[in-house]
Amino acid sequence: MAAQKENDGLHKAGSDKRRLIRQHVMVGKNRGKTRKPNTKTPRRDLGSSRLDSDEPSALVLKMRYPSIPNKVGNELSFSRFAAPIEPALLQEMLRFCFMAKRIMYPLADHIDFHKNDKIDTLWFDLLTYDVAYLHSVVFLCQSYSSLVSGIQTSSSACRGMVHYSEALRLLRERISGQSEERETWNSTILVVLYLATHAHLVGDISSAKHHLQGLRKMADLKGGIYAFRYNPKLIIELMKCDLAMAINYGMETVFFEDPSLEPLIPYDLTPPITETSPGVGASPQPVASSICCTDLQQAWTAMIRFCSAINYATKRGLRLPKEVLLTNMGSVMYRVVCIKYELNPVDETIRLGLLAFSSHVFLRVRNIPSPHTYLPNIYRDRLLSLPPGQIPLLSLVWLLMVGGISLFTPADDHWLLPWLRVCLTALEANNWDELQDKLKGLLWIDALHNKPGKTIFDTVYRVSGPRDFDSRL
């Protein structure tokens, strides 16, 4: 009867049984741990232990676990994708996916794109079950690698076309099916978006316009671009594609073209964040005081707020929400691009300078210079035809520096560098630190513009040139 009480689970076991149970439990807790041998106790003969032995040591020996192996591969080693992909292409695709934000977003290090929700994991999850999306990503990342390296072999081009053809075929089948599911629409829009992005980067204007019009129609079927407000990053991507093509091709935007049906994104009216005052830097007046157009003045002021917020966050190691990026890019760039009425020469020059600056901040693709010449050409022509003495000296330096950073190529050095040298001499900017402090009073993001700005400054003083630009001051 006493033995029954010890084993029915309602009473405490005897001391010997408790010791046996405790040692059995400790086996699980000590898995993977290395024990030092007990040199004081003679080693037992493992072969002499019996399965039916009541000794605790026999039970411990019989239930030893093997050591836990080290990690094999990475977290993606056993991931299953929507279709078989060659190992080399798979590795290339994964590298591109992990670097995509830094490639496509100049401010990626200062913007928080992640939240713990399904929407923010969608971009990678689709690779595991959407075949059309997978093929479009493989094709885009392979094209990016070829553009960066400048090398494309016939075999790599052939592989790329296979994935392009598959993505296009599956896209046509899907569109003809007219599925209304949200996830299907998200992935289908992304496939078209990636095809448009590739066409834009390689200068295939016809295909780029065709895909962009397709994006517009797909958005209309869902109620317009605001129907995707549940996915801010998708709206950002759509706007980037639209704005990049408008700026580089000189064409009309397809989103927000009719404010009565699709209202423009309101400006962010948050007061600018600075170290010591509500203002930004030294003084925002040199350019602002030269602007007559009210729409342009408001866009300039909004960008001042954005630049101050980015600089403040960068200095403190903070990240701004992606909604800040969306609001400022959408509100500023669409208004500046869509100014239809004729501006005076100074305002038009500042408008183009603001477009050059904002396109470098919001639209630039890492390591790939724009293949298009529309904005560089009209900005260069406008600068060279600017009436002398019509704009403050610091504003002129800013306009030239922004063009040098964002648009112009070494082919422009013969006129840009001498003109900058004359301006810097007249401004008495004898070193980069002095000029940098002055430029911070205008539109300037330290993380993006300090390094290329210093490169231009150093080049100006290394390269001598004609001084026939004095008359332009």
DSSP structure string for 8-72: SSSSPPPHHHHHHHHHHHHHHHTTTPPPPP-TTSPPP-GGG--TT---HHHHHHHTPPPPPPPP-
Q: What is the pLDDT of residues 122-137, one digit of tens each?
A: 677 888 888 898 889 8
pLDDT at 9: 35
Counting residues of the chain whose pLDDT is more than 90, the rounded percentage is 41
Q: In angstroms, rounded to a whole number, what is the distance separating the alpha carbons of residues 8 and 1? A: 11
Provide the sign of the torsion angle of the four alpha carbons 36, 37, 39, 41, taken in this order. positive
H or E stretch at 307: helix 294-315
The per-residue pLDDT for 79 is: 62
Q: Radius of gyration of the chain from Cα atoms? A: 32
pLDDT of the residue at 235: 94
321 touches 262 (CB < 8 A): no
With a CB cutoff of 8 Å and minimum separation 6, the contacts of 122 are 183, 186, 231
Distance CA 252, CA 249 (A): 9
Task: Write down the pLDDT at residue 365.
Answer: 87
Which residues, at least 6 apart from 345, have a Cβ–Cβ distance to it below 8 Å? 382, 385, 386, 387, 390
Single-letter code of the amino acid located at 295: D
- Mean pLDDT, rounded, for 198-202: 87
Return the residue matching tokens 């078989």: 84
Output 66 or 231, whichever has higher pLDDT. Answer: 231
What DSSP designation does 90 have? H
- Sign of the C-alpha dihedral computed for residues 290, 295, 296 and 301 taken in this order: positive
Task: Report d(CA 186, CA 179) in Å as an integer.
Answer: 11
Residue 157: predicted pLDDT: 66
Mean pLDDT of 436-456: 94
pLDDT (0 to 100) of residue 129: 83
Residues recorded for the chain: 473
What mean pLDDT comes out for the span 207-213?
93
DSSP assignment of 362-407: HTPPTT------HHHHHHHHHHHTPPTTSS-HHHHHHHHHHHHHHT
Local structure of 417: helix, strand or coil: helix
State the DSSP H helix or E strand holding residue 112, giving kind and residue range, or none if neither: strand 111-112
The CB density around residue 230, as the number of other CB atoms within 10 Å, is: 11
- Determine the pLDDT at residue 305: 93
- Confidence check: pLDDT of 190 > 70: yes
3-state percent helix, strand, coil for the chain, nearest multiple of 5? 65, 0, 35
345 or 467, which is more confident?
A: 345
Sign of CA dihedral 428, 434, 436, 440: negative
Confidence at residue 469, expressed as pLDDT on a 0 to 100 scale: 54
**Alpha-carbon torsion 347, 352, 355, 357, what sign?**
negative
Higher pLDDT, 358 or 81: 358
Predicted confidence at residue 59, as pLDDT, reads 36
Q: Which residues of 322-337 are buried (b: 16+ CB within 10 A; e: fewer)?
A: bebbbbbbbbbbbbbb
What's the mean per-residue pLDDT of the chain?
A: 78
- Among the listed residues 56, 115, 391, 437, the one whose alpha carbon sits nearest the alpha carbon of residue 275: 437
Given a cut of 80, is residue 17 above it in pLDDT? no
Per the model's pLDDT, the better-predicted residue between 151 and 116 turns out to be 151
Please name the residues in contact with 159: beta carbons below 8 A apart, sequence gap of 6 or more.
Answer: 86, 89, 142
Average confidence (pLDDT) over 365-381:
87
Q: What's the whole-number mean pLDDT along residues 231-245?
A: 93
Per mean pLDDT, which of 20-34, 154-168, 247-261, 364-378 is the most reliable?
247-261
CA-CA distance, 82 to 69, in Å (whole number)?
A: 30
Instruction: Give the pairing of strands 111-112 and 320-321.
Output: parallel
Over residues 61-108, the pLDDT tens digits come to 333 444 444 444 444 444 677 777 777 777 777 777 777 888 889 999
244 CB-contact burial (10 Å; exposed 0-12 / middle 13-18 / buried 19+): buried
- Give pLDDT tens digits for 150-161: 666 666 667 778
What is the rounded distance in angstroms from the CA atom of residue 319 to the CA atom of residue 448?
15
**CA–CA separation, 397 and 428 (whole Å):** 12
CB-count exposure of residue 1 (10 Å: 0-12, 13-18, 19+): exposed
C-alpha span between 246 and 354 (Å, rounded): 15
pLDDT for position 282: 42
Beta-bridge mates of residue 288: none
Using pLDDT thresholds of 50, 70 and 90, give the confidence band for residue 4.
very low
pLDDT recorded at residue 281: 41
Spell out the domain ranges in the chain. Answer: 2-62, 87-249, 285-472
Q: Identify the pLDDT of residue 184.
A: 59
Q: Given pLDDT bands bounded at 50, 70 and 90, which one contains residue 254? A: very high
pLDDT digits 0-9 by tens, 154-183: 666 677 788 888 888 988 888 877 555 544
Predicted confidence band at 425 (pLDDT cuts at 50, 70, 90)?
very high
3-state secondary structure of 321: strand
Mean pLDDT of the region 399-424: 95
